[in-house]
Amino acid sequence: MEDDSTTPDPKGPPHPWSWGTVLVLLVVHAGALLAPFFFTPTAVALAMVLYTLNCLGITTGYHRLLTHRSFKARTWLAYTLVTLGALSAQAGPASWVAIHRLHHAKSDRDDDPHNAARGFWWSHMGWMLRISPRRLDPLFTKRFARDILEVPYYAFLDRHFFHLCLLSGLALYGLGGWSWLTWAVFLRIAAVFHATWLVNSAAHGFGYRSYDTNDLSTNCWWVALLTFGEGWHNNHHAFPTSARHGRKWWELDLSWLLILTLAKLGWVWDINTAARGPLSED
């Protein structure tokens, strides 16, 4: 079991600010506010394409493939999906997986990094702005995502995802100037940020519950649309290792449809759609 002695009391002193995270978010959102002044149809179209690729990298790569092992994929495809997730500038794959696995182990309780019981703001983004001892502990990621770090390419992405995001941003600026920078970099990254964060916040407070899970998870249709199926979050907490989040015929899950398409091509296999119970923290 993990030593909980460093876990802060949520009613105690606040965590120290993560000033690096604050700076990155300020720059990204300030750049996104400039986008209307540099509008071009090409920049908007590119931003939408990259938003789709980043979201699918998070949903199918980081989340369903790495975190929950919901399916297996050819190495080149797995690397491609995970790279697309890394280019969303959220976190490296191992760090992201570790945080999400702890979320499932302690969902909406004190040890949950983005405990929705602490309110919408905290679960949406406030938790990232304050550094907890868990996130500062270099052993935390290794404990919860050892399997990810054992893959050299994923370990490389975990160390250098931010540098790759900077390089890709510079490349887009060089190719398309300020219109591509503000739309396809800043606005696109901000949109992917908030879409992902809404799964932690809105999908733990708005919508309906199909399953009686021990958390606040909900099925929120508009979050599902923005995140290609991740908004069917109550379904996901009931069946955490299932590759299919939309359980009813009308619960549109585009990430699931992508997985089915890749399966028909022979690129993914061993797809799980049944419940196996929650992840253990051991």
Higher pLDDT, 12 or 215: 215
Query: What integer best gives the mean pLDDT of the chain?
Result: 89
Q: Are 144 and 111 in contact (CB under 8 A)?
A: no
In a domain, 281, yes or no: no
Q: Residues near 175 by Cβ (< 8 Å), separated by ≥ 6?
A: none
Q: Is residue 5 part of a domain?
A: no
- What is the tens place of the pLDDT at every residue in 159-212? 999 999 999 999 999 999 999 999 999 999 999 999 999 999 999 999 999 999
What ranges in the chain are assigned the alpha helix state H? 19-33, 41-56, 75-86, 93-105, 120-121, 127-129, 133-136, 138-144, 146-149, 152-180, 188-200, 221-226, 233-238, 254-264
In a domain, 276, yes or no: no
Give a yes or no: residue 11 inside a domain: no
Look at residue 131 and tell me whether its pLDDT is greater than 90.
no
What domain count does the chain have?
Answer: 1
- Return d(Cα 198, Cα 211) in angstroms, integer: 20
Report DSSP state, residue 38: G
pLDDT at 277 over 70: no
Band (10; pLDDT cuts 50, 70, 90): very low
Identify the weakest region by mean pLDDT among 122-136, 207-221, 243-257.
122-136
Report if residue 232 sits inside a domain. yes
13 lies in some domain? no
Q: What confidence score (pLDDT) does residue 8 get?
A: 39
Residue 155 inside a domain? The answer is yes
Q: Would you call 150 exposed, middle or buried from its count of C-beta atoms within 10 A (0-12, 13-18, 19+)?
A: exposed
- Phi and psi for 204 in degrees, rounded to 5? -125, 20
Eight-state DSSP code of residue 83: H
Whole-number pLDDT of residue 205: 93
- Alpha-carbon span 30 to 22, nearest angstrom: 12
Q: How far apart are the first and last CA of the chain?
A: 6
- CA 173/CA 169 separation, integer angstroms: 6
Gap between the Cα atoms of 84 and 62, Å rounded: 9
Q: Comparing 10-19, 157-166, 204-213, 263-272, which segment has the lowest mean pLDDT?
A: 10-19
What integer pLDDT is reported at residue 20 of this predicted model? 83
pTM exceeds cut of 0.85: yes
Q: What range defines the domain where residue 31 resides? A: 23-269
Residue 218's Cβ-side half-sphere holds a number of Cα atoms within 13 Å equal to 16
For 276, half-sphere exposure in the C-beta direction (CA atoms, 13 angstrom radius) is 13
Q: What residues contact residue 138 under an 8 Å CB cut-off, 6+ apart? A: none
Residue 244 lies in a domain: yes
